[in-house]
Amino acid sequence: MKKVLCFLMIFISCSKNESEESNIAQSIPPAEAEPITIPPDFDNDSIYSAAKPKILASYWTAFVKSAALYDVDLSNIEEVTFISEDLGGSTAGIANGSCEEYVLISVDETLFRNLTVGEQIFLMYHELGHDVFNASHDGGGLMAPNIRSLEYDLFQTEVKDFFTKVDFIEWTDEECEFIRGLTDN
Ligand SMILES: [Zn+2]
């Protein structure tokens, strides 16, 4: 009786091994590999990757293209100026055209070039948000008042919420008066 049992066990074990082998054979990947999908990021996004820190005006081109994605047409705005200047060491960019008809962005290029690509895009979109739309910090998101290193997908959401006016609050008349007073000095 013992012998029969032993023989059966060997037989079962043997057939199990065979089936494992055939599974291994089937799991070998086919010669044609699946195409590798690269996740979108600031440096491969078609709009952001065209913006170059050494060409400040390229951020305006990117901003106009991003706006167009949400049917906001900025092609009629012609007076857009970027000036490179020393902003005192801790400020990388200033929007001088808030509550004004023009767009005038000051950039401290020494600081700006040391930011990450995401920070550079965020900073420029934030300052352009002030000048082009008179957007205040109260809207949050893109207009929250600090440079942040943003993950690409979150930034995309903030840009969308800005252009679709989900996260958007304009400076009030009183605030504009105050801001104009600051820039007149
Ligand atoms: Zn700001």
Confidence of residue 34 (pLDDT cuts 50, 70, 90): confident
Confidence of residue 145 (pLDDT cuts 50, 70, 90): confident
Q: Is the pLDDT of residue 8 over 70?
A: no
Confidence of residue 27 (pLDDT cuts 50, 70, 90): low
CA of 87 to the centre of ligand 1 (A): 15
Rounded to an integer, the average pLDDT of 39-53 is 95
Cα separation, 116 vs 164, in Å, equals 26
Q: Is the pLDDT of residue 10 over 50?
A: no
Q: Which CATH class is domain 48-184?
A: alpha beta
Q: Is the pLDDT of residue 160 over 90?
A: yes
CA of 128 to the centre of ligand 1 (A): 9
Which residues fall inside 5 Å of ion ligand 1, going by CB? 145
**Could you state, in order of their start, the residue ranges of all structural domains in the chain?**
48-184
CA of 47 to the centre of ligand 1 (A): 22
Looking at the chain, the whole-number percentage of residues with pLDDT higher than 70 is 81
Cα separation, 44 vs 38, in Å, equals 9
Cα separation, 132 vs 170, in Å, equals 11
Alpha carbon separation from 82 to 46, 77, 152 (Å, rounded) = 22, 14, 25
Confidence of residue 89 (pLDDT cuts 50, 70, 90): confident
Task: Tell me the CA end-to-end span of the chain in Å, nearest whole number.
Answer: 106
CA of 145 to the centre of ligand 1 (A): 5
